[in-house]
Chains A and B, each alone.
Chain A
Amino acid sequence: MPVVRIPSVLRKHTDGEAKVAIDGASVRDVFAGLIAKHPDLAESLLDGDTVRGFINVYVDDEDIRYIGGLDAPCSDTEEIAIMPAVAGGSSFQAFR
C-alpha cells in the first residue's frame, strides 16, 4: 500500500511516526484513511476539501497540483510526501 511521508511538524499527530502506510488508489483516499487513523491531522493538512496552500504534496516526484490534485492516482509502490514549503526573507525587520 502507499506510504505517506509525514513532515516533522505534523508527527505530533501521528504518534511520532515519520512514515505511515495507508491503503488507497488516490491521494484523496489515502488522506481520508490517514485522517481516520490520526484525526488531528485534518486541520493541519486540509482547508476544507483542498490541501493547505503552504503544503506541497508529491506522489513520488510529481506535485499533485499537476496530476489531478487530491484525485491524483497512487499505486502500492509509491510514496506520498507531505512537504511544508520553506520560505521567508528580509522583507520586514521584526526585532533586533
Chain B
Amino acid sequence: MANDTFDMYRHADPYLLDEPTRQKLVDHARSDFPYEVCGLIAHRANGSHIVYPIRNAERSMTYYAMDPRELLGAMRLIEDRGDRFTIYHSHTHSEAYPSATDIRLAAYPEATYLIVTLQDSANPAMRAYAICDGEVSEKPVVFS
C-alpha cells in the first residue's frame, strides 16, 4: 500500500494550499453541517488564493449543486483574470474520495476537485483530484 501510494504520487504535481485558505474551507464546511457545502478557489499568479463560497442550491447531506447565478459571477471573475481554479465541496459523513456522482458530473477538466471531509469532525481532512473524461488522478495536498 505504501509503495502504491508512492507510485501514485511520484508523477503528480503537488496541490498547494496555505493555512488561511485551509481554515476558510474547514470553517465553510462546518458552517452548514450536516449539509454539503461547495465553492470555488481562485489561484492567483502571485500564489495567493481567493475562496468563493457558493450556495448549495440542493442543501443536501449527500448532494450539491452550485447556485447557477453565484457560479456565473465567480467564474466570470476567475476567467477574466486568467486564474486557475479549484472546485471544492464537503463530504459530511464519508471519506474524501470522489463518488460516482462526483465523477459523472465533473464538467471542468482543467479544474482541481478538492473534497473536504468532516467524517472525523475534530480532524477535517482534504484531498485533491483531477477528473477528466471519467478518469480520476489524485494530487498530493501540501499545506504551507
Q: Which of B76, B87, B102 contacts A89 (CB 8 A)?
A: B102
User: Interface residue count for B (Cβ, 8 Å)?
Assistant: 38
Name the residue of chain B whose CB is nearest to the CB of A96.
Answer: B97
Chain B hits for A85, CB < 8 A: 65-66, 68, 71, 105, 107
A7 to B134, CA, bound (A): 18
Is A81 a contact of B38 with CB atoms below 8 Å? no
A residues 70-96 in Cβ contact with B at 8 Å: 81, 83-96
Chain A hits for B65, CB < 8 A: 85-87
Q: Report B30 CB to chain A, min CB distance, Å.
A: 16
Chain A hits for B60, CB < 8 A: 89
Is B68 a contact of A88 with CB atoms below 8 Å? no
Chain A hits for B108, CB < 8 A: 7-9, 84, 86
Q: Report B82 CB to chain A, min CB distance, Å.
A: 9
A residues 41-85 in Cβ contact with B at 8 Å: 54, 56, 58, 61, 63, 81, 83-85
* Inter-chain residue pair count (beta carbon < 8 A): 108
A63 to B38, CA, bound (A): 21
Is B107 a contact of A90 with CB atoms below 8 Å? no
Confirm or deny: A13 has a beta carbon within 8 angstroms of a beta carbon on chain B: no
Chain B hits for A94, CB < 8 A: 97-100, 102-103, 136
Is B38 a contact of A86 with CB atoms below 8 Å? yes
Q: Report A13 CB to chain B, min CB distance, Å.
A: 14
Confirm or deny: B43 has a beta carbon within 8 angstroms of a beta carbon on chain A: no
Confirm or deny: A5 has a beta carbon within 8 angstroms of a beta carbon on chain B: yes
Is B106 a contact of A90 with CB atoms below 8 Å? no
**Contact A90 B62, CB 8 Å, known A9-B109, A18-B79, A84-B107:** yes
Confirm or deny: B22 has a beta carbon within 8 angstroms of a beta carbon on chain A: no
Confirm or deny: B141 has a beta carbon within 8 angstroms of a beta carbon on chain A: no
Confirm or deny: B91 has a beta carbon within 8 angstroms of a beta carbon on chain A: yes
Q: Chain A interface (Cβ within 8 Å of chain B)? A: 5, 7-9, 18, 54, 56, 58, 61, 63, 81, 83-96
Please, could you name 6 A-B residue pairs with CB atoms under 8 Å apart, sorted by A?
A88-B102, A89-B64, A90-B62, A90-B101, A94-B100, A94-B102
